[in-house]
Chain A
Amino acid sequence: MSYLDNILFAIILIIAFGYFISNIKKIYRNVNLGIDVDRKDNSKLRWRNMAMIALGQSKMVKRPIAGVLHIIVYAGFVIINIELLEIIIDGLFGTHRIFAPFLGGFYDVLIASFEILALLVIVAVTVFWIRRNVIKLKRFINPDLNGFPKNDANYILYFETILMFLFLFMNASDLHLQNVSGGYSHFVKAGSFPVSQFLAPLFNGVNSDLVALFYELFWWLHIVGILIFMNYLYYSKHLHILLAFPNTYFADLKPLGKFDNLEAVTKEVKMMMDPNADPFAAPAADANEVPAKFGASDIQDLNWVQLLNAYTCTECGRCTSACPANITGKKLSPRKIMMDTRDRMEEVGKNIDANKGVFVPDNKTLLNDYITPEELWACTSCNACVEECPVSISPLSIIMDMRRYLVMEQSAAPGTLNAMMTNVENNGAPWPYNQQDRLNWKNEI
């Protein structure tokens, strides 16, 4: 009979992790819809970047208030998860505070630190909520977030607050039962409760059996809440708590000003410039080679790191708040570029799921249906968005790939730019001056 709880707990655990893993697989599959790009080089620097930027939060603190609050929530998340291990073992084996006897005095320190962090998390999350909903910081009320994204952000804050309160109330009811004179059931003296000791008096005068029932309720709601939250990640902007690590590892290491040179173009240009090349010769390359498409019009044309970027984006909007185009009222928002990429990737993924693993063209593309040329042409390629991103996302690389498609596949550049390019082509300068006049300045007064 008494095993019923344990079995139920095991089943819940299996379902929660099973569903979570199936979604992680979907992320993996969708990210791999992107074209390949080699990011295996320089692993030492990559590990260092991950340690500094993801683990060490080095870019978060560029904005000190949000940075410090975020570190509290982050530390709370990481450290309180140690307690999660105990909760899972207790749940599976019907034990109570299994670590206490092994850790002795250190257990008190651990529980005390969890409690203090839990309180700090509640404070930090409250400030986050105020910044979003009362102060209404510009980047949080930007139209990019209209609809679900705005609610999503608040749901996450509510979730975290509730989980922390459940944890503290669980401890408070435990502490109350620990102090019942003569002892109560299996509630042995264990742990130190600097925060929940102030909640425990709420149970004074309440029947001990009822308090024990409350304890059970808080315990179950807390762990089930965490499992639900874990599964919510896939549907929310909150995946960054996992993906920030691979994303910072695989980020581009080149100087921000260096844009990649398209290899397919290099081949053609070399052939064009080779005086010995036979322009009518049949291509020697193998016949199965898919003709290269220049630039990107949909997510399959982007590389997998760009797609990983899209899943990692937590929609904080630092990029957009630093974007010169957005600051001056243009439609471009680097954050929206990332959100659109993810939305389209999800749409393509669902299409594949619905069609037995094959993508059936749906007459939609990332370009036009999600991201308009007007947005793309407003970019100054200044790299402010890339510099700002706390998890090394590059919206600029997606913008550039889509511009390439517009220009090289569709000849759809703005007229003024076409004029500039004609000049470069004809006289080697973006303006209509003769190349022979390039040194005239020397003799001008």
Chain B
Amino acid sequence: MSENLIVPTMAEMLAQGKQPEVLFWVGCAGSFDDRAKKITKAFVRILNSANVSFAVLGTEESCTGDPAKRAGNEFLFQMQAMMNIEVLNAYEAKKIVTACPHCFNTLKNEYPELGGKYEVIHHTEFLKSLLDDGRLAIEGGQFKGKKITFHDPCYLGRANKIYEAPRDLIEKLDVALVEMKRSKANGLCCGAGGAQMFKDAEKGNKEVNVERTEDALETTPDIIATGCPFCNTMMTDGIKNKEKEGEVKVMDIAELIANAQDL
């Protein structure tokens, strides 16, 4: 059964002489990672149901260069950045939304000096604005009464001080939002940032994602919510490590909202 997702590309839009309201930057994880693709689709379902005019770059999108930059490869980062900026500027992109805090941070903070100046927003902020504008209605649905804890992605939270938009959205679901002992500015990293996702951890006595999963499990949640595909992977692995897959789910905020509306 095909889902009938409507996902126009910027190229198709341009061919029709149209400029979308917002460009959805999918990101590498959102394009290729099996778990993250579900987040991408959930977000698209919301966009479709709210009749948001958006488009993706599709095959013209390339890695923002974030993992290369955090690994120390400034050359590779800037080459990626300049190629992407060329594409984005050619389409005269003004507003970009992304479900990946790493893409978000890089596009928002590091592209402007290289010639890429856009209004960049994280999907939780975008969903919040749809909600505020009355274009999106959120009801608890299947999550009503559930206990949810939110893990702050470092590149959304500390890096860009966005703490409230994801929480506001969760609270709309008629759930009990519980905070971990380390949250918001004091939140503990999931262990994926700084290109750690792509390498083995140095010698230590524990994996960072296990430490963070323990923080989350202390709140005895039904769901661990997050807003980053990499945090999602790390927390999901943590839950497996703790053998709690049966009891606790790790979900992106876009998935929570889409599922609550049965989209």
Please report A residues at the B interface, Cβ cutoff 8 Å: 62, 254-259, 261-262, 265-266, 268-270, 272-273, 294-295, 322, 324-325, 327-332, 374, 377-384, 386-387, 400, 403-408, 413-414, 416-417, 419-421, 424-425, 428-431, 433, 435-445
Contact between B82 and A439, CB atoms less than 8 A apart: no
Count of A-B contacts judged by CB separation below 8 Å: 222
**18 further A-B pairs in the complex, CB-CB below 8 A; given A258-B105, A265-B78, A429-B31:** A259-B110, A266-B114, A324-B188, A331-B203, A379-B194, A380-B154, A381-B193, A383-B154, A407-B73, A413-B72, A430-B67, A431-B33, A438-B31, A438-B61, A439-B9, A439-B58, A441-B37, A445-B2
Chain A binding site: helix, strand, loop or mixed by DSSP?
helix
Which residues of A sit under 8 angstroms from B110, Cβ to Cβ? 258-259, 261
Known: A404-B74, A439-B58. A257 touches B194 (CB 8 A): no
Contact between A420 and B74, CB atoms less than 8 A apart: no
B47 within 8 Å of A (CB atoms) = no
Question: Which of B90-98, B140-148, B205-213 lies on the face that meets chain A?
Answer: B205-213
Contact between A424 and B2, CB atoms less than 8 A apart: no
Least CB separation from B5: chain A residue: A442
A62 to B158, CA, bound (A): 15
| Distance of B232 from chain A, by nearest CB (Å) | 15
Contact between A255 and B160, CB atoms less than 8 A apart: yes
Please report B residues at the A interface, Cβ cutoff 8 Å: 1-3, 5, 7, 9, 26, 28, 30-33, 37, 40-41, 56, 58-59, 61-63, 65, 67-80, 82-83, 105, 109-110, 113-114, 154-155, 158-161, 185-186, 188-189, 191-208, 210-212
Contact between A428 and B62, CB atoms less than 8 A apart: yes
A429 to B205, CA, bound (A): 31
Which residues of B sit under 8 angstroms from A413, Cβ to Cβ? 71-73
Contact between A330 and B202, CB atoms less than 8 A apart: yes
A425 to B30, CA, bound (A): 19
Known: A255-B161, A265-B74, A324-B211. A436 touches B59 (CB 8 A): yes
Known: A258-B110, A387-B158, A441-B31. A435 touches B3 (CB 8 A): no
Least CB separation from B69: chain A residue: A259
Contact between B193 and A424, CB atoms less than 8 A apart: no
Known: A413-B71, A438-B26. A255 touches B109 (CB 8 A): yes
Known: A266-B114, A420-B198. A325 touches B208 (CB 8 A): yes
Which residues of A sit under 8 angstroms from B73, Cβ to Cβ? 404, 407-408, 413, 421
Contact between A400 and B72, CB atoms less than 8 A apart: yes
Pick the residue among B5, B33, B58 that contacts A438 (CB under 8 A): B58
Known: A255-B109, A272-B79. A428 touches B158 (CB 8 A): no
Known: A269-B78, A294-B74, A431-B32. A438 touches B59 (CB 8 A): yes
Contact between B159 and A383, CB atoms less than 8 A apart: yes
Contact between B109 and A445, CB atoms less than 8 A apart: no
30 examples of A-B residue contacts, CB within 8 angstroms = A255-B161, A257-B160, A258-B109, A261-B74, A261-B110, A261-B114, A266-B114, A273-B83, A322-B186, A325-B208, A327-B208, A328-B201, A328-B204, A328-B210, A328-B211, A329-B204, A380-B194, A387-B186, A404-B74, A408-B74, A420-B67, A421-B71, A424-B67, A425-B76, A430-B63, A430-B67, A431-B32, A438-B26, A439-B59, A442-B5
Which residues of A sit under 8 angstroms from B80, Cβ to Cβ? 424, 428
Least CB separation from A438: chain B residue: B31
Which residues of A sit under 8 angstroms from B72, Cβ to Cβ? 295, 400, 403-408, 413
A93 to B5, CA, bound (A): 88
| Distance of A9 from chain B, by nearest CB (Å) | 49
Known: A265-B74, A424-B67. A383 touches B202 (CB 8 A): no
| Distance of B53 from chain A, by nearest CB (Å) | 17
Which residues of A sit under 8 angstroms from B197, Cβ to Cβ? 430
Least CB separation from B189: chain A residue: A382
A262 to B62, CA, bound (A): 21
| Distance of B180 from chain A, by nearest CB (Å) | 14
Which residues of B sit under 8 angstroms from A430, Cβ to Cβ? 28, 63, 67, 197-198
A269 to B198, CA, bound (A): 25
User: Which 8 A-B pairs give the minimum distances between C-beta atoms?
Assistant: A257-B159, A381-B194, A403-B72, A428-B62, A329-B205, A329-B204, A382-B189, A258-B109
A330 to B199, CA, bound (A): 15
Known: A258-B105, A420-B67. A408 touches B59 (CB 8 A): no
A386 to B154, CA, bound (A): 12
Pick the residue among B75, B76, B189 that contacts A380 (CB under 8 A): B189
Which residues of A sit under 8 angstroms from B185, Cβ to Cβ? 387
Contact between B159 and A439, CB atoms less than 8 A apart: no
Which residues of B sit under 8 angstroms from A416, Cβ to Cβ? 198-200
A419 to B61, CA, bound (A): 20
A387 to B211, CA, bound (A): 20
| Distance of A49 from chain B, by nearest CB (Å) | 15
A272 to B28, CA, bound (A): 25
A416 to B200, CA, bound (A): 7
